[in-house]
Structure 1
């Protein structure tokens, strides 16, 4: 593989990219900027992991409620 082939591969990857505008919380952007100067790469990796199901979600909408047993009648601690 020569240098011209490598340049062509890199150019093809750039052609395959689509630029979109995303609104993010400023604190989140600050945290991402501590990781990298290229936030789009962090976002792209996170989306790929999410689509593959690699990262289990842990938020209020995905948690199963914990059922606590109700004491028998007459044993309430009022």
Structure 2
């Protein structure tokens, strides 16, 4: 990165950084928000905290169902 790509902002404690993204990735991010920097900032924070665990329907472990009683013992 060059120094001209990084410009500090006075009102907040943030730094303006220029990055290059894949066009398809930017298109996916723009479906989430009109400000891609928020998505990138949150993703970096989670990555630095080690928050790379996926929590979607395909990775969750399902709780086991209780055993089904044998036939004839349903209404005991």
For normalisation by structure 2, the TM-score amounts to 0.54
* Structure 2 residues not aligned, in runs of 5+: 1-10, 55-76
Higher strand share: 2
Aligned residue number for residue 39 of structure 1: 36
Structure having greater relative contact order (Cα 8 Å, sep ≥ 6): 2
Higher helix share: 1
For normalisation by structure 1, the TM-score amounts to 0.53
Deviation at 1:56, TM superposition (A): 4.1
Aligned residue number for residue 68 of structure 2: none
Which consecutive segments of 4 or more residues in structure 1 shift more than 2 A?
Answer: none
Deviations 1:12-70, CA, capped at 9 Å, x for gaps? xx42010000100000000000000010000000000000001149xxxxxxxxxxxxx
Aligned residue number for residue 18 of structure 2: 21
Alignment length (residue pairs)? 45
